[in-house]
Amino acid sequence: MSSEKTNQSWGGRFSEPVDAFVARFTASVDFDKRLYRHDILGSQAHARMLTQAGVLSEAERDAIVAGLDEIRGEIEAGTFEWRVDLEDVHMNIEARLTERLGVVGKKLHTGRSRNDQVATDIRLWLRDEIDAILVELNRLQEGLLQLAETEADTIMPGFTHLQTAQPVTFGHHLLAWFEMLSRDHERLVDCRKRVNRMPLGSAALAGTTYPIQRQVTCELLGFEAIGGNSLDGVSDRDFAIEFCAAASLAMMHLSRFSEELVLWTSAQFQFIDLPDRFCTGSSIMPQKKNPDVPELVRGKTGRVFGALTGLLTLMKGQPLAYNKDNQEDKEPLFDAADTLRDSLRAFADMVPAIKPKREIMREAARRGFSTATDLADYLVRKGLPFRDCHEIVGHAVKYGVDSGKDLAEMSLDELRRFSDQIERDVFAVLTLEGSVNARDHIGGTAPAQVRAAVQRGRALLGQR
């Protein structure tokens, strides 16, 4: 039997060391070492529970807790030696603890497995990540409310099919993004509830024969519930998939927002200006100012979609319980969380600094017969059926296209060619201000409603 061992946690079963390439291929320490804080936190809670269960003495517990604190200090100081031959973050930390404490360090793993240990670590890590993401999401929503309030009276064209549809206010448009992000917030908060369930105590797959007290570690680690089945506890990755689904929706919203920002900054629209610090230039065209932040967020959305698809594919063929496949869960999950948090941070920094070009927005709203529906509604109030009004206004618009006149630019005589129900009061309806102010109901674009929605939004953020 060879005296060489590649991993002291399981080497006794093997008669030869693992091939060097296989050791590198199967190791996860290069990416799962970012779990070190949560691995140490979970181990310290486990040690405290083992003491209450009579498995460890108080002196052994204190030595383990202190030793893990010192190891955390080594990692954060950059002096810790990460070893590929020890495979993962768990064994690297345990090996260092054993090196420091001897036999006492070897006792820490009593009553648990790396299977429930890693499941616990990931949940602890993701719980913290969701909290950090929610901070950035709230910050972005605060910026949207601030800008929406400032631009409550700013008129711009609303679009369907990217064609001018009806006038809206810029503040109202911004609040649409606030609504989307509010749903994202709800999803992430709800997802966190299912993340915050403790698998520790499931051991390898069947539980443990030691008299563990799972409620103790549950309370120490701040979990809301204890996993009810050990097989599911070690193998479940629903929570990671659910997070990536919520992250994908949030990134989809940011991507749509990005698309509008890219359009609005173009020479064809010129609706807004982004500060230089969020843009770059061209190496060959000196006039260029490229909206790189929105473009990059739009592109990064695909990474998060890919993480979701990858995790679904990873899990779809796995039998119970834990399988080595699950090592592939971390990198896409890490990347999805990093991407969402960074994208939200970039937008939270950028959105309050958006400078609308109000006159250009207004002129764009004036073009394209954006008050055509208002004219139809005006005729309905005169007693005509809507479908007849729709046809009347359609003829008026055709005349406007041929003559190069917007509805508001036509004379009363010209408008009366299409219906004798049209009177001089129609011009109040055909103004941009008249159009937006007429939509004075909850969810409408009227400036008064925008300001009321901003106050509701601030109240919502204050309740979080």
Domain boundaries, the chain: 19-110, 115-362, 372-430
Where does 152-222 have alpha helices with state H?
A: 170-195, 214-221
Respond yes or no: is residue 282 known to be catalytic: yes
User: What crossing angle do the helices spanning 214-221 and 36-52 adopt, rounded to 10°?
Assistant: 140
Give the mean model confidence (pLDDT) for residues 433-451: 96
Residue 10 has pLDDT above 80, yes or no: no
Residue 48 has pLDDT above 80, yes or no: yes
User: What's the pLDDT band for 14 if we cut at 50, 70, 90?
Assistant: low
Topology of the domain comprising 115-362 = Fumarase C; Chain A, domain 2 (1.20.200)
B/e letters for 396-413, b = 16+ CB within 10 Å, e = fewer, are: bbebbeeeeebbbebeee
**What is the enclosing helix (H) or strand (E) of 429?**
helix 426-430
Rounded Cα–Cα distance for residues 67 and 217 (Å)? 19
**Which one of the listed residues 161, 283, 411, 441 is annotated catalytic?**
161
Give the model's pLDDT for residue 17. Answer: 74
Rounded Cα–Cα distance for residues 200 and 220 (Å)? 12
Bridge-partner residues for 166, per DSSP?
Answer: 158
Backbone angles phi, psi at 144, to 5 degrees: -65, -40
Bridge-partner residues for 356, per DSSP?
Answer: 272
User: What's the pLDDT band for 413 if we cut at 50, 70, 90?
Assistant: very high
User: What's the pLDDT band for 448 if we cut at 50, 70, 90?
Assistant: very high
User: What's the pLDDT band for 154 if we cut at 50, 70, 90?
Assistant: very high
Instruction: Select from 185, 302, 187, 293 the least CA-distant residue to 251.
Output: 302
Respond yes or no: is residue 161 known to be catalytic: yes
| Residues 238-271: tens digit of each pLDDT | 999 999 999 999 999 999 999 999 999 999 999 9
Least confident residue range of 32-46, 58-72, 151-165, 363-377: 363-377
Selection from 18-32, 57-71, 403-417 with the highest mean pLDDT: 57-71
The CATH classification number of 372-430 equals 1.10.40.30
Instruction: Select from 365, 359, 371, 363 the least CA-distant residue to 410.
Output: 371
pTM exceeds 0.95, yes or no: no
Give the model's pLDDT for residue 3. Answer: 39
> In 10 A of CB 16, how many CB atoms?
10
Instruction: Select from 81, 99, 68 the least CA-distant residue to 33.
Output: 81
User: What's the pLDDT band for 21 if we cut at 50, 70, 90?
Assistant: confident
Residue 395 has pLDDT above 70, yes or no: yes
Residue listed under structure tokens 């051991």: 203
Rounded Cα–Cα distance for residues 246 and 236 (Å)? 18
**β-pairing, 155-160 with 163-169?**
antiparallel
| Residues 261-317: tens digit of each pLDDT | 999 999 999 999 999 998 888 888 878 889 999 999 999 999 999 999 999 999 999
Tokens (6 digits) for 237: 């990755």
Mean pLDDT for the chain? 94
135: left (phi over 0), alpha (psi -120 to 50) or beta: alpha
**Which one of the listed residues 57, 266, 282, 403 is annotated catalytic?**
282
Give the model's pLDDT for residue 4. Answer: 44
Q: DSSP assignment of 79-148, as one string?
A: -----GGG-SHHHHHHHHHHHHHTHHHHGGGTT--HHHHHHHHHHHHHHHHHHHHHHHHHHHHHHHHHHH
Give the mean model confidence (pLDDT) for residues 5-27: 69
Instruction: Select from 366, 363, 422, 358 the least CA-distant residue to 393.
Output: 422
19-110 domain in CATH 3.20.20.150? no
User: How far, CA to CA in Å, does 314 sit from each of 240, 303, 411?
Assistant: 12, 16, 67
Give the mean model confidence (pLDDT) for residues 225-248: 98
Q: DSSP assignment of 233-291, as one string?
A: HHH--HHHHHHHHHHHHHHHHHHHHHHHHHHHHSTTT--EE--GGG-B--SS-TT--B-
Residue 396 has pLDDT above 50, yes or no: yes
| Residues 320-340: tens digit of each pLDDT | 999 999 999 999 999 999 999
Residue 363 has pLDDT above 60, yes or no: yes
